[in-house]
Amino acid sequence: MRSHYCGEVNESLIGQEVTLCGWVNRRRDLGGVIFLDLRDREGIVQVVYDPDIEDVFALANTLRNEFCVKVTGKVRPRPEGQINKEMASGGIELLGLQLEILNAAAPLPLDFNQQNSEEQRLRFRYLDLRRPEMSEKLKFRAKVTNEVRRFMEEAGFMDVETPILTAATPEGARDYLVPSRTHKGKFFALPQSPQLFKQLLMMSGVDRYYQIVKCFRDEDLRADRQPEFTQIDIETSFMSADQVMAVTEQMIRQLFTKLMNIDLGDFPRMTYEEAMRRFGSDKPDLRIPLELVDVAEQVKTVDFKVFAGPANDDNGRVAAIRVPAGADKFSRKQIDELGKFVGIYGAKGLAWMKINDRAAGLEGVQSPVAKFFSAEQMEALLAQTNAESGDILFFGADNKVVVTEAMGALRIKLGEDLGLVADEWRPLWVVDFPMFEEADGRAHALHHPFTAPSNATAAELEANPYGALSDAYDMVLNGCEVGGGSVRIHDQTMQATVFRILGISDEEAREKFGFLLDALQYGAPPHAGLAFGLDRLVMLMCGADTIRDVMAFPKTTTAACPLTDAPGKANPEQLVELGIALVAKEDAK
Amino acid sequence: MRSHYCGEVNESLIGQEVTLCGWVNRRRDLGGVIFLDLRDREGIVQVVYDPDIEDVFALANTLRNEFCVKVTGKVRPRPEGQINKEMASGGIELLGLQLEILNAAAPLPLDFNQQNSEEQRLRFRYLDLRRPEMSEKLKFRAKVTNEVRRFMEEAGFMDVETPILTAATPEGARDYLVPSRTHKGKFFALPQSPQLFKQLLMMSGVDRYYQIVKCFRDEDLRADRQPEFTQIDIETSFMSADQVMAVTEQMIRQLFTKLMNIDLGDFPRMTYEEAMRRFGSDKPDLRIPLELVDVAEQVKTVDFKVFAGPANDDNGRVAAIRVPAGADKFSRKQIDELGKFVGIYGAKGLAWMKINDRAAGLEGVQSPVAKFFSAEQMEALLAQTNAESGDILFFGADNKVVVTEAMGALRIKLGEDLGLVADEWRPLWVVDFPMFEEADGRAHALHHPFTAPSNATAAELEANPYGALSDAYDMVLNGCEVGGGSVRIHDQTMQATVFRILGISDEEAREKFGFLLDALQYGAPPHAGLAFGLDRLVMLMCGADTIRDVMAFPKTTTAACPLTDAPGKANPEQLVELGIALVAKEDAK
């Protein structure tokens, strides 16, 4: 129907007649002339209707916002004063010659000129997506997936589809279940990831696999999660961790160069141990120039149990964050609020010191806890933290986990509150994760049970599970984990050992993962892989506030869709066919 | 780990050392030398182990089929007599210098040298996929999706993901349901297609959308169906049916040229009426040179009720299929079996005539029904069917639906049984479908309720629903519907009218499709689209017998996965969380 997109009309077409289709973005009547901003996917063009062409002018006069129209007109330069250099089409306008109303529009339930509630935006998503800031995000996402695919194909990766209706997967979150009609009383699970299938594909000899694929987790949706999300899923045979990191790092770098003209450079690597020690996080945001400094050595002998206790405990940690020139940036009230903030992470309080005069030593320190320090102790502490006059120090002292988490979170908060987050891209790899962490008296896999140890035989692993490091790697960008992966176990004995350490009985292992254990005995190749969270990656790249803004039809935080009213009621016959019944709410308690 | 894929090793590398990773396809010991066929994704290479290198030879001696190994060797020409021109690497072999066993293999549960049961193949799918004929199909499928994406991107289509957890969709098959935990008693449905979402995307201004997307139908799986299948989903704004057909036809033609070096030429178009009349099918297989010929006019006055009844009934049909030179190809027993075959489609019998001597007229016809014909009547019939000496004619006489279906199916069967199916590609478009068909006294949409009529206003449609044609089009290839689509309704009044004709009450329409009706009033653009069944398309292109062979992990015909044992039991806590309970089998009756 059209000859051009709106965004394609520019000076090169002056004098020509073009036909455009799109929506009335705005209509203004000025000096007896109608000015129309016509919008389509590619941009906006100004159309002018003169009263000379009577019937067309009369029709143009009936247009309201968001009418869908077809316009034929002649491209001409805009008058001097009206040139808009911000717009691709800002140098020209269309003299409207013909006009066809393809569809009228009732007044919109969303006002594009103001903030609309999330609920309203989702209910009328098809209108919300008309806003250029939203449609640009969808377009950007499509470009990302297209570039990813192009890269992966060129690198010899093969796109293979894995099932959506499958067995429960081992990621550990809650599965979405799908009752089977042909096998009543049984359920499919929607995959939390195609982990086992991609490992099986390696055993099939696919060699290099990728897929951009939907995954599902029935979790409570705080923290900007969605019931269904999209993964760039990758697996390779006969590649080391270094090689997988190299190829996937290259992919991300190429995305940034091609789509944003940004060179991310080589990604530095940091061990998990260093990340937790210096940044209190396994996904450190390196844009923030604050660090955790361990001061246990310096406070071991201080006559203050809150410090000395953890400092003398193998499971304890005492760490400081120094905010340069921060002393006069925090009132008592503000510090109290920071204390409440670290409380969320289990910290029982937040000690602080303002360094009013570094040269004055203990005397120059303003702090409720200064009194517990001798001059020498204070000097050692100030030296260790590199404190200078005008700085403020915050302290966490407790068991390792609490201090690391709380001070890691405080570091981010201070960085954001004080505007210290640098406007830059700071990617890195976090490596050398422990294989297992202990909680509730038993071992848990830090990644998943199929991750291979990097430096241990099965016997060594069994002898000292908490000493073993895994061959896993996370890609972190500006404090977000955008991807994670590992070398997988391809040896049946090793896999059985890991299951045993995790307290998974042979019986349970066989029941849940018997097919994987079986598959390992038929010449399974060494293999490794990685998965990126596409939604989060796109969100970061296009600076969106939430992953909902880079999904066409996201769910609310209660996992509902105000547009289609999903989930909805099932009709009773369907439930009978499926062999299930609803449990009344009272009974369910 | 490797320097090359096996399939990449050829004469150009003679004299060089290469390292390969793969599986032992076969091991032979000949004259004190070990010959190994090493296999990876890209091909097979012969590796020779001489006893000179003692330790390597000893290790090679322990290899069994499907061991996963790493081989380093020197490329050399094969001795004269051993050159294999069928293989890419058939001119060379590798002198094995090093050998590493990456993983041993127990004896395989599948024998690659014989036919294995479908159940076994699916249970050990990861092994079945190692067979080159299977891995070639997966590779081919990946190439198809890659080419489709490349084409769509170049044509300005935007890849947008639509939800998998959604509301019931209107395709009319049974939905898979997913109980919601956060909204107990309610269910998501898995989409039978993204139909409504892609229409909404048009209303969002996406303009050109495509997606390669999983769809779901909980149907009984006879007829080579799968619970989840993949669709190439396409929708455009501001395009006519002709334009959508042009761009999608170009896509398919390009697929065939690029991947198979086959030029399909321009696709002919055929109306639904002609397809049903000449071929008894809305997806005619034009490779079969047999046609249905209407003979009602010729048998109206014959003294044989079976023929004359339907011939004189407006809802009846009498049709013949002429099999040239078929008279001596069918025994009475075989004809009886054909009679049973058409019985499946409701036909009460199968009349036939052998034309022993065309010149002898009635006298030359051998048939149980010849006696009912006068010489003139027979002459007219033979003339109408173009019968010649040596032909056989088969007849169907009943109501239109039965005759068309039964004779259409018989045409295919005769074509296949007699080896008449030409070895060629015969694509076509079927167009001008009726909007509605009548069954059980009410109207049903031939496509779906969002299909626009091609030649009627809302008022005209309501006045004469069964006379209206839709603006729909199916792409048919060798008797398979590979794609189907239509111009959609973009007018609220028209949409409401169609719902009314279909007997969908305003209340029901609002409850199910209220969001679509709403969306139509805010400047919905004219739009049209199409969806291809990717699995079937790939199956046709690579000559597979079933869509299961072009899917990595298909389900059985009872919708189960013997590999992962899905569907499986849910644990009771999960069901409590979901607010559902299993109904005991006895109660469910």
B82, pLDDT greater than 70: yes
Inter-chain touch A138–B145, beta carbons under 8 Å: no
Q: Locate the domains of chain B by residue range.
A: 6-103, 135-164+192-270+427-550, 288-417
pTM (two decimals)? 0.94
pLDDT at A220: 82
Contacts of A524 in chain B (CB under 8 A): 68, 103
Query: Sorting pLDDT into bands at 50, 70 and 90, what band is B81?
Result: confident
Task: For residue A165, give the nearest of B105, B163, B227 by CB distance.
Answer: B227
Pairing of strands B351-355, B316-323: unpaired
Distance CA(A140)–CA(A143), nearest Å, equals 5
Cβ contacts of A146 on chain B, cutoff 8 Å:
149, 153, 159
Q: Which of A545, A582, A530 is nearest to A246 (CA)?
A: A530
Phi, psi of A184 (to 5 degrees): -60, 140
d(CA A311, CA A302): 10
Provide CB contacts within 8 A for A532, sequence distance 6+: A231, A232, A234, A248, A252, A475, A482, A483
Q: Where are the alpha helices (DSSP H) in B304-399?
A: 305-311, 332-343, 375-385
Binding-site residues of B, please?
Answer: 171, 217-219, 226, 447, 481, 488, 533-536
Which residues of chain A neighbour B130 with C-beta distances below 8 Å? 204-205
**Which residues 6+ apart lie within 8 Å of A540 measured at CB?**
A477, A478, A480, A482
Mutation site, B21, B71, B187, B569, interface A, largest A CB count within 10 A: B187
Give chain A positions within 8 Å (CB) of B491: 103
Find, in chain A, the residue whose alpha carbon is nearest to that of B582.
Answer: A580
Q: In CATH, what number does A135-265+427-550 get?
A: 3.30.930.10
Which of A159, A168, A216 is closest, CB to CB, to B568? A168
The sign of the torsion formed by the CA atoms of B76, B81, B82, B88 equals positive
Residues of A annotated as binding site for L-aspartate? 171, 217, 447, 488
Burial of A56 (C-beta count, 10 Å sphere; 0-12/13-18/19+): buried
Local structure of A1: helix, strand or coil: coil
Chain-chain contact of B178 with A174 (C-beta, under 8 angstroms): no
Phi/psi of residue B76, nearest 5 degrees: -140, 160
Top pLDDT among B574 and A257 is at A257
Size of interface A-B (CB pairs under 8 A): 363
∠ CA A157-A161-A164, rounded to 5°: 145
Percent of chain B with pLDDT over 70: 98
Contact B204 A126 (CB under 8 A): yes
Q: Would you write out chain A's pLDDT as a tens digit for each of its 589 residues?
A: 899 999 999 999 999 999 999 999 999 998 899 999 999 999 999 999 999 999 999 999 999 999 999 999 999 999 888 888 888 889 999 999 999 999 999 999 998 888 889 899 999 999 999 999 999 999 999 999 999 999 999 999 999 999 999 998 665 789 999 999 999 999 999 999 999 999 999 999 999 999 999 999 998 867 688 999 999 999 999 999 999 999 999 999 999 999 999 999 999 999 999 999 999 999 999 999 999 999 999 999 999 999 999 999 999 999 999 999 999 999 999 999 999 999 999 999 999 999 999 999 999 999 999 999 999 999 999 999 999 999 999 999 999 999 999 999 999 999 999 999 999 999 999 999 999 998 888 999 988 899 999 989 999 999 999 999 999 999 999 999 999 999 999 999 999 999 999 998 888 888 888 899 999 999 999 999 999 999 999 999 999 999 999 999 999 989 999 999 999 999 888 999 999 999 976 544 4
B211 in Cβ contact with B162 (< 8 Å)? yes
Note whether B566 contacts A103, CB cutoff 8 Å: no
Is the Cβ pair A566, B218 closer than 8 Å?
no
SS3 content of chain A, % helix, strand, coil (to 5): 35, 25, 40
Q: Which of A57, A75, A59, A87 is nearest to A18 (CA)?
A: A75
The closest CB to that of A188, out of B125, B524, B567, belongs to B567
Per-residue pLDDT averaged across B504-523, rounded? 89
| CATH superfamily of this structure's domain A288-417 | GAD-like domain (3.30.1360.30)
Distance between CA atoms of A580 and A572, rounded to whole angstroms? 10
Domains B6-103 and B288-417 share a fold: no
Chain B contact probe: residue of A1, A204, A518 with most B CBs at under 10 A = A204
Distance from CA of B8 to the nearest CA of A (A): 13
Residues with Cβ within 8 Å of A207's Cβ and at least 6 positions away in sequence, in order, are A156, A158, A236, A237, A238, B5, B40, B41
Cβ separation of A177 and B178 shorter than 8 Å? yes
| Contact flag A21-B238 (C-beta cutoff 8 Å) | yes
pLDDT of amino acid B29:
93
- B91/chain A closest Cα distance in angstroms: 24
Residue A70 to residue B238, Cβ atoms within 8 A? yes
CB B411 within 8 A of CB B280: yes
Does the beta-carbon distance from B523 to A23 stay under 8 Å?
yes
The answer to whether the Cβ–Cβ distance between A204 and B177 falls below 8 Å is no
Residue B278, amino acid? R
- The span from the CA of B56 to the CA of B63, in Å, is 11
Mean pLDDT computed over every residue of chain B:
94
In the DSSP assignment, the letter for residue B412 is H
For A411, other C-beta atoms within 10 Å of its C-beta total: 25
A196: helix, strand or coil: helix
**B574 touches B175 (CB < 8 A):** no
- Closest to A488 (Cα-Cα) out of A436, A527, A448: A527
> Do B217 and A164 touch, CB atoms closer than 8 A?
no
Asked whether the beta carbons of residue B526 and residue A102 sit closer than 8 angstroms, the reply is yes
Substitution target in A71, A103, A573 with the highest count of B β-carbons within 10 Å is A103
Whether residue B206 contacts residue A129, with contact meaning beta carbons closer than 8 Å, is answered with yes
Rg of the Cα atoms in chain B:
30
B490 exposed, middle or buried (CB, 10 Å; 0-12, 13-18, 19+)? buried
Residue of A nearest to B554 (CA): A163
What pLDDT is stored for residue B170 in this prediction?
Answer: 61
Report pLDDT for A440. 85
Least Cα separation, residue A271 to chain B (angstroms): 25
Three-state DSSP state, B211: strand
Cβ contact A200–B149 (<8 Å): no
Known binding-site residues of B for ATP equal 217-219, 226, 481, 533-536
Residues of A in contact with B106 (CB under 8 A): 521-522
Q: Inspect the interface and report whether the beta carbons of B162 and A553 lie closer than 8 Å.
A: yes
Question: Tell me, what amino acid is at B442?
Answer: R
Q: Under an 8 A CB cutoff, do B491 and A103 touch? A: yes
3-state per-residue secondary structure call for B435-449: CEEEECCEEEECCCC
**A2 DSSP assignment:** -
Q: Minimal Cα–Cα distance from A176 to chain B, Å?
A: 7
CB atoms inside a 10 Å sphere around CB B361: 14
Cβ–Cβ below 8 Å for A174 and B181: yes
Quick: pLDDT tens for B226-254: 999 999 999 999 999 999 999 999 999 99
For residue B180, which residues of chain A lie inside 8 Å, CB to CB?
559-560, 567
Q: Nearest C-alpha of chain A: how many angstroms from B238?
A: 6
Output the known binding site of A.
Answer: 171, 217-219, 226, 447, 481, 488, 533-536
The DSSP element (H or E) to which A97 belongs, if any, is strand A92-103
Of A127, A205, A238, the CB nearest to B522: A127
Residue of A nearest to B130 (CA): A204
Q: Which of B165, B216, B589 to mutate against chain A (most A CBs within 10 Å)?
A: B165
At B269-303, the pLDDT tens digits run 999 999 999 999 999 999 999 999 999 999 999 99
**pLDDT of B262:** 97
Residue A113, both tokens: 């000129």
Kindly report the CATH number that applies to the domain delimited by B135-164+192-270+427-550: 3.30.930.10
Q: Is the pLDDT of residue B584 over 80?
A: no
* C-alpha to C-alpha distance for B585 and B577, rounded to whole angstroms: 22
- Which runs of consecutive H residues, i.e. helices, occur in A357-399? 375-385
The alpha carbon of residue B156 is apart from the nearest alpha carbon of chain A, in Å, by 11
Q: Is the ipTM of this complex over 0.85?
A: yes
Question: Are B357 and B334 in contact, with CB atoms under 8 Å apart?
Answer: no
Question: How far does B360 lie from chain A, in Å, by closest CA?
Answer: 60
For A6-103, the fitting CATH number among 3.40.50.300, 3.40.50.10190, 2.40.50.140, 1.10.3720.10 is 2.40.50.140
CB contact under 8 A, B127 and A525: no
Could you say which of B106, B129, B182 has the minimum Cβ distance to residue A558?
Answer: B182
> Do residues A396 and A413 lie in contact, with contact meaning Cβ atoms separated by under 8 Å?
no
Find where tokens 């201004």 sit: B205
